Amino acid sequence: MSERQELIKEMLEMQKHFISYEHEHGVTQEEYFASAEGHELHNYRQRYNELAMKLVDMAHSEKGSHR
């Protein structure tokens, strides 16, 4: 599996987990933006953003464009 496919797979798994958690417990703004260490959503937003930006950078690199 390519690196791009691995990143997309991880992002999709993260989305599924988030949706499942949200349906079971609901999600407050604090949980989403600043959840405490040990919380299921701790660093979720940051990690997801890192993966998304890595995909964007890969796409720009392949096309020879810059962001």
What is the length of the chain?
Answer: 67
Q: Which residues of the chain have pLDDT under 50?
A: none
pTM of the model: 0.84
Cα separation, 1 vs 29, in Å, equals 35
Nearest to 17, CA basis, from 54, 47, 56, 57: 47
User: What local confidence, expressed as pLDDT, does residue 67 receive?
Assistant: 54
Torsion of CA 15, 21, 26, 27, to 10 degrees: -60
Report residue 50 as tokens.
């890192």
Q: What is the pLDDT of residues 29-45, one digit of tens each?
A: 999 999 999 999 999 99
